[in-house]
Amino acid sequence: MTTDNSTSTSTYTYESDGPAAVAVIGLGQMGTRLAQAFLAAGYRTTVWNRTAAKADALVVQGAVRAASAAEAIEAADLVVVCLPDYGTVGDVLRPASAAGAAGGLRGKVLVNLTSGTPEEAREMAGLASGLGAAYLDGAAMSGTRLVGRPEALFVLSGSADAFAAHREVLGALGDSVHLGADPALAAVYDTALFGLAWGALAGFHHAVALAGAAGVEPTEFAAVAAGHMPFVTSLMTEHARQLADGRFPDDDGTVDVHAAAMEHLVLASRAEGVGAELPELVKSLLERASADGYGAAGIASVARVLREGARHA
């Protein structure tokens, strides 16, 4: 048995006998895939959704339909919620936990896979603690299609004991990673990785438009672009090391050299009638780094400039 000490009023304890029973509350696009992944892994899965008909297909696949959120909570050790926002999660869990004949969430593990901000995650950890549950905040990072496959990344943070106790069942969702005891960390990674993915995708969308203007088919371009990505990810590792060291060697070109090259991309885009917003944005970041004295430094210095800018804003 493991006792969780991460929250002051939580009474969560974990008995290791028998497989965990799971509840999924919220059967939208994501919640449905979560429930399917638990079912596919052989876990007894109880489901509840405001619109009951959305559980029909899952029941055919082996899920148990709960008549209320309170009934779903009662049926499970691990309660997974996936609703549009944290306000809705609170609105559903407060009365459901109070109405539960067996004590609602008391002694259970609440896993919240609803998207939100770090501040909302901390507030939800407080609510869970008040209801006597151990809390894991989390985020699904790989859309719905990959859920249940090993490459589907789920980031989780909060109670380390709860994660250790339910690591296997959470592994049914994909690559479930515990980031640390601070419940806000999952939302920090969620928002940061969302920005990273969009930066990469926006770059791709611009690139495929520019190549398309020259007659290159999107699929043809994507094949070459995908082969280029290992170099880009290797730069992330290298730049992270440089940021940790506080030194920005110019091995991959200086900030000023990249700013000049980015101007070529702006001009080439305009010449083809392709939107130049993205290269203009990157050029402005490089120029800001140069104005801050990093013109002759390596391009990882842009991250430091952004960080310092945020600190002094």
Ligand X SMILES: NC(=O)c1ccc[n+]([C@@H]2O[C@H](COP(=O)([O-])OP(=O)(O)OC[C@H]3O[C@@H](n4cnc5c(N)ncnc54)[C@H](OP(=O)(O)O)[C@@H]3O)[C@@H](O)[C@H]2O)c1
Residues in contact with ligand X by the rule CB under 6 A? 26-31, 49-51, 54, 82-84, 88, 92, 114-115, 140, 143-144
Q: How far is the CB of 54 from ligand X (least distance, A)?
A: 5
Q: How far is the CB of 78 from ligand X (least distance, A)?
A: 17
Nearest CB to ligand X, comparing residues 54 and 122: 54
φ, ψ of residue 161 in degrees (nearest 5): -65, -45
Q: How far is the CB of 177 from ligand X (least distance, A)?
A: 15
Nearest CB to ligand X, comparing residues 2 and 142: 142
Q: How far is the CB of 273 from ligand X (least distance, A)?
A: 33
Q: How far is the CB of 217 from ligand X (least distance, A)?
A: 27
Crossing angle for the helix pair 118-130 and 185-213, nearest 10 degrees?
150
Nearest CB to ligand X, comparing residues 137 and 161: 137
Nearest CB to ligand X, comparing residues 2 and 88: 88
Nearest CB to ligand X, comparing residues 54 and 106: 54
10 Å Cβ neighbour count for 274?
Answer: 20
10 Å Cβ neighbour count for 243?
Answer: 15
> Three-state DSSP class for 124?
helix
Dihedral sign for Cα 23, 28, 30, 36, please: positive
Nearest CB to ligand X, comparing residues 97 and 115: 115
- Do the beta carbons of residue 82 and residue 139 sit within 8 Å? no
Name, in order, each residue with C-beta under 8 angstroms of 208's C-beta and a sequence gap of 6 or more.
Answer: 218, 221, 222, 225
Nearest CB to ligand X, comparing residues 53 and 244: 53
Q: How far is the CB of 58 from ligand X (least distance, A)?
A: 12
What is the C-alpha separation between 119 and 151, in angstroms, rounded? 28
- Do the beta carbons of residue 21 and residue 71 sit within 8 Å? no
Q: How far is the CB of 239 from ligand X (least distance, A)?
A: 27
User: Whose CB is nearest to ligand X?
Assistant: 28
Name, in order, each residue with C-beta under 8 angstroms of 72's C-beta and a sequence gap of 6 or more.
Answer: 23, 24, 25, 46, 47, 48, 66, 79, 96
10 Å Cβ neighbour count for 44?
Answer: 18
